[in-house]
Amino acid sequence: MHGTRRNKLLLSTLTASMLLALTAQAAAEDEPAAYRGSGANLRTTVSALSFDEAAEPDYNPYVESTVDLRAMWWFTDWLNTSASMGFSRELTESDITTQGGETWPSDLFLGVGFSRFANVRLLNIDLSGGLGAQLPVSPSSQARTLLVGVTPSLSGTRRFDLLGGLSLTYGYRATKYFHEYTTAERETPLITSCASAGRGCEPYLNTGVRNVSWRQVHSGSVSLGLIDTLSVSVGTSVFIDTVYDGVQDERISFVAQEPTDNRHSIAYNLGLSYSPMPSVSLGLGASTANAQLAPDSTYRAPFFNRNTTFYLDVGLDVAGLVSQVTP
């Protein structure tokens, strides 16, 4: 399930956009808490291929548990700031960690949000935006020598009075990544005596895999409230990554037939959300995130392929909990 793990960030990004689309339907109280939106979410993920031992030559089941923490503070009805971070642990035997049962942190995301700061009256579309920063806490970002990522974003939502509420959302965001080096590095150099060499160890840490310089994401989602406590959502996101320029050397004989400066990925999500009380939410769904092309340069099947996972969410909302325990 290497592809599932490599694309976990894409799944997390798509799921976050779906949750934003769902929470946008909630009606504000007379005096909403300034910390509304803060909380925690526990997600258990299992790959679809874990249920079929004969699906591939090598059976490699994948079950993971992730805790996402989020803090928000609203200065006004439309201006907020947030911080989020997650911790993941694979419950099956991991192919990417160095120790059994190792817990990996995600990057730290900081942001300023502008919720419904404007309305396009002709189309009745609410506009929201934000500016975020990604700090390299995760081992994968540190291996890519990431210094910081800066992300401006803009989205538009059109709402309709249908059942519990129908929302159509389109979002766009662009991320500029700043790295120390344009390629990823190994944890230790291939030549251990490099410290005594005149050039140092940097040439022997390089993997040759170019880092992403720019990322663009186009996302769309549809959310329908069936009743006050139950809603269903579906969405997709297209990721366009532009890598740093490669080294041009006529001595290199292995040259791609076409430019390989862009990488394309796509993600899909289908989810069902149930909120039995203000402080607790439950989610059940399926997600797929994959590179556009398979290793043999064929197009991967959309919606369902070897990267498809099923998930179960249990969410805790701090503002909802306080409202329940206080008179």
CA distance linking residue 313 with residue 231, whole number of Å: 14
Longest dimension (CA), the chain: 76
Best CA proximity match to 289, nearest among 7, 5, 2, 1: 7
Beta bridge partners of 316: 40, 280
Distance CA 72, CA 188 (A): 38
Report d(CA 308, CA 269) in Å as an integer.
10
d(CA 152, CA 131): 4
Separation CA 252–CA 159 (nearest Å)? 55
> Cα(184)–Cα(243) distance, rounded to whole angstroms?
12
Report field, pTM of the whole predicted structure over 0.75 = yes
- Print pLDDT tens along the chain (327 aa): 445 455 555 555 555 555 444 444 443 345 789 999 999 999 999 999 999 888 888 888 999 999 999 999 999 999 999 999 999 999 998 888 777 788 999 999 999 999 999 999 999 999 999 999 999 999 989 989 999 999 999 999 999 999 889 999 999 999 999 999 888 877 666 666 666 655 566 666 667 788 999 999 999 999 999 998 999 999 999 999 999 987 665 555 555 556 678 889 999 999 999 999 999 999 999 999 999 888 888 888 888 888 999 999 999 999 999 988 887
Q: Where are the domains of the chain?
A: 2-27+39-248+267-325
Q: How far apart are CA 317 and CA 323, in angstroms?
A: 10
Write down the CATH superfamily of domain 2-27+39-248+267-325.
Answer: monomeric porin ompg (2.40.160.40)
